[in-house]
Amino acid sequence: MGRGRQDEQYLEAAKTFGAAIDRLARAYEADADRRRDLIQDIHVALWRSFATFDGRCSNRTWVYRIAHNLGASHIVKTRRYRLEGLAQLEETFETVDGANPESEAGDRQVLDRLMALVHRLQPTDRQIVLLNLEDLDAAAIGEVTGL
């Protein structure tokens, strides 16, 4: 593939999925400076990936696969999270069962609570929850995660 085509594909993907990449990075990294680095790493990897993209999956699936692979690698690489400190998906439901998010003051607080719960999840569960929140169906989630 020519570099011009690679640039075009990347620019279209960045325009279409840029907000989703930002949301995913926020879910993987709470620290603003590290999050900016992660977003930049995702964009670089995405641009590079279009040199070999063969179209066997949708652009959406490709972008999410790149973003989630980088997000998961970021968690492992920074070693800020230890596997013992992360929760299983089922354990997080216990945390919110007694809470009434509708009574929280403002959408920001609800979003902050959600992100706090997402940050507690193990990487695989985190990927599944984030992709579900991005409205991917089970088949697409399986394709992105390889599960």
Is 122 exposed, middle or buried, given 0-12, 13-18 or 19+ CB atoms closer than 10 A? middle
Cα angle for residues 31, 32, 34 (degrees, 5° grid): 70
Please report, for the chain, the start and end positions of each structural domain, with discontinuous segments joined by +. Answer: 3-145
28 versus 12: the higher-pLDDT residue is 12
Rounded Cα distance between 70 and 46, Å, is: 10
pLDDT of 104 reads: 44
How far is the C-alpha of 17 from the C-alpha of 20, rounded, in Å?
A: 5
Distance from C-alpha of 104 to C-alpha of 113, rounded to nearest angstrom: 10
Please state which of the ranges 19-33, 41-55, 120-134 shows the lowest mean pLDDT.
Answer: 120-134
**Which of 108, 115, 113 minimizes the C-alpha distance to 28?**
115
**pLDDT at residue number 75:** 75
